């Protein structure tokens, strides 16, 4: 199998922020055993900011963005040095990939990253992926490496995503471990609480957001499991469930639509009336201007935009055939009136169904 393993900050660092060499050594040893068994492993790693704080002996509290970027540049070198040393003991080589949200906004860049990962795997190299904290600005940041892990899982057609953290999995409102989730709905979201540790940038909610897209669109199961317990990785590879398993549905979409759904952040949004929402979600139709109430944001032809219902909830996203200025002018009109309003009609649809994914 091809397995993406996301390692959380709490597993990789001590409370002080220094890297937890004992924990890292054990986990990397288990990853090596999976590779010895024939599995392909891709690592998505957190911990750069925490490791940098540990080196500098400073607290991560109240760091400004530019300080986080500087600290991450220090921590990233420490993090990769440890990965390199532990994998070297297994006679394995690692390859580092640093990405930002803007890297995935371009279809070409998205494919280049995918091809790089495949090439590293073909060469027997272990890809280690992290967000490029040193260059990302606030509006471009992923906010959490769980999201990166989900994007990578979708991108490389992985069979499983394993998110290792310091808890057993998702707990319900009675403090009982939820073993299986087939649909991430509001009830499941209500179970999520807390914002993660001071060294991490996410929590259970971002994990659930990642799971929702994976199991609905990409055919990959996702697991949240206790990374402090030895043997959990092996159990998951063998088909067992030591934590919470999010079970994928039968629907699998193309790589192009995965990029639309998962690979980038929308540049703007369009508000739809009830008829348009029904046409997109129930009838697999294209989005016509007659169903658009208004446009928000600044986007151009070919940009990814979000489609929201009247309450502002995202129901789909796709590639716009028109700019935000043009959509604002033709909103609510029948398609045959586009030329009358704009002086031209390049497309009958605001978003064609081949370039649209229902979220």
Q: State the pLDDT confidence band at 199, using cuts at 50, 70 and 90.
A: very low
Q: Where are the alpha helices (DSSP H) in 165-297?
A: 186-191, 204-213, 232-237, 255-258, 274-283
220 and 84 in a common domain: yes
* Highest mean predicted confidence (pLDDT) among 29-38, 189-198, 242-251, 263-272: 29-38
Whether 298 and 322 have beta carbons less than 8 Å apart is answered as no
Whether 315 and 309 have beta carbons less than 8 Å apart is answered as yes
Q: Across the chain, what does the average pLDDT equal? A: 89
229 and 80 in a common domain: yes
182 and 156 in a common domain: yes
pLDDT in tens, 147-176: 889 889 988 889 999 999 988 999 998 889
Number of domains within the chain: 2
pLDDT at 215: 86
Q: State the pLDDT confidence band at 205, using cuts at 50, 70 and 90.
A: confident
54 and 131 in a common domain: yes
pLDDT at 138: 52
Residue 78 tokens read as 């420490």
333 and 241 in a common domain: no
Residue 37 pLDDT > 70, yes or no?
yes
* 226, 257, 288 - which closes a domain: 257
Percent of residues, the chain, with pLDDT higher than 90: 60
Residue 102 tokens read as 């803007």
pLDDT in tens, 305-352: 999 999 999 999 999 999 999 999 999 999 999 999 999 999 999 999
Task: Assign residue 167 the CATH number of its domain.
Answer: 3.40.1160.10
Lowest-pLDDT range of 13-27, 184-198, 254-268, 311-325: 184-198
324 and 235 in a common domain: no
Residue 104 pLDDT > 60, yes or no?
yes
d(CA 79, CA 82) in angstroms, rounded, equals: 5
106 and 9 in a common domain: yes
CB burial of residue 42 (10 Å; 0-12, 13-18, 19+): buried
pLDDT at 236: 97
Q: Vertex 200, ends 197 and 201: CA angle to 5°? A: 110
Q: State the pLDDT confidence band at 110, using cuts at 50, 70 and 90.
A: confident
167 and 89 in a common domain: yes
* 211, 227, 257 - which closes a domain: 257
**Domain enclosing residue 280, as ranges:** 266-358
Say whether 99 sits in a helix, a strand or coil.
Answer: strand
d(CA 308, CA 324) in angstroms, rounded, equals: 15
d(CA 254, CA 287) in angstroms, rounded, equals: 20
Residue 264 pLDDT > 60, yes or no?
yes
d(CA 46, CA 40) in angstroms, rounded, equals: 20
Residue 8 pLDDT > 90, yes or no?
no
Q: What is the β-pairing status of strands 180-181 and 221-226?
A: unpaired
Residue 198 pLDDT > 50, yes or no?
no
Find tokens 């471990």 and name the residue.
177
* 257, 277, 308 - which closes a domain: 257
Eight-state DSSP code of residue 89: T
- In DSSP terms, which residues pair with 83 in a beta bridge? none
pLDDT at 224: 96
190 and 61 in a common domain: yes
Q: Is the dihedral of CA 234, 240, 242, 243 positive or negative?
A: positive
* CA neighbor of 332 nearest in space, from 273, 281, 286: 273
Residue 95 pLDDT > 90, yes or no?
yes
* Highest mean predicted confidence (pLDDT) among 55-59, 79-83, 183-187: 79-83
pLDDT at 140: 42
pLDDT at 197: 45
pLDDT at 137: 57
Q: State the pLDDT confidence band at 221, using cuts at 50, 70 and 90.
A: very high
Over residues 53-70, the mean pLDDT reads 84
300 and 223 in a common domain: no
pLDDT in tens, 114-142: 899 999 999 999 999 988 877 765 544 55
d(CA 74, CA 45) in angstroms, rounded, equals: 15
Task: Assign residue 311 the CATH number of its domain.
Answer: 2.30.130.10
Residue 105 pLDDT > 90, yes or no?
no
pLDDT at 136: 62
Whether 159 and 3 have beta carbons less than 8 Å apart is answered as yes
220 and 120 in a common domain: yes
328 and 208 in a common domain: no
């Amino acid at each position: 199998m091809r397995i993406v393993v996301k390692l959380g900050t709490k597993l990789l660092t001590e409370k002080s922020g220094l890297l937890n060499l004992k924990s890292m050594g054990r986990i990397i040893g288990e990853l090596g055993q999976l590779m010895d068994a024939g599995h392909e492993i891709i690592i998505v790693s957190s911990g750069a900011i925490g490791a940098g704080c540990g080196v500098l002996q400073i607290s991560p509290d109240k760091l400004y963005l530019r300080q986080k970027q500087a600290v991450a540049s220090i921590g990233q070198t420490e993090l990769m040095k440890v990965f390199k040393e532990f994998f070297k003991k297994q006679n394995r080589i690692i390859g580092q990939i640093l990405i930002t949200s803007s890297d995935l906004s371009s279809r070409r860049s998205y494919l280049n990253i995918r091809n790089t990962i495949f090439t590293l795997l073909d060469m027997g190299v272990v890809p280690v992926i992290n967000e490029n904290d040193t260059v990302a600005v606030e509006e471009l940041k992923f906010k959490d490496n769980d999201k990166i892990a989900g994007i990578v899982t979708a991108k490389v057609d992985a069979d499983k995503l394993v998110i290792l953290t310091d808890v057993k999995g998702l707990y319900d409102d009675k403090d009982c471990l939820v073993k299986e989730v087939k649909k991430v709905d509001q009830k499941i979201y209500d179970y999520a609480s807390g914002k993660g540790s001071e060294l991490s940038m996410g929590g259970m909610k971002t994990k659930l957001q990642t799971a929702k897209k994976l199991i609905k669109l990409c055919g990959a199961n996702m697991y949240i499991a206790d990374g402090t317990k030895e043997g959990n990785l092996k159990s998951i590879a063998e088909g067992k469930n030591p934590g919470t398993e999010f079970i994928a549905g039968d629907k699998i979409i193309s790589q192009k639509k995965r990029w639309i759904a998962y690979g980038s952040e929308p540049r703007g949004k369009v508000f739809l009336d009830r008829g348009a929402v029904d046409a997109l979600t129930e009838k697999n139709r294209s989005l016509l201007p007659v169903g658009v109430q208004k446009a928000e944001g600044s986007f151009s032809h070919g940009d990814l935009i979000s489609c929201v219902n009247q309450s502002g909830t995202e129901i789909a996203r796709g590639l716009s055939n028109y700019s935000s200025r043009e959509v604002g002018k033709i909103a609510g009109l029948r398609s045959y009136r586009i030329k009358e309003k704009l002086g031209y009609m390049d497309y009958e649809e605001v978003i064609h169904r081949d370039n649209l994914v229902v979220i």
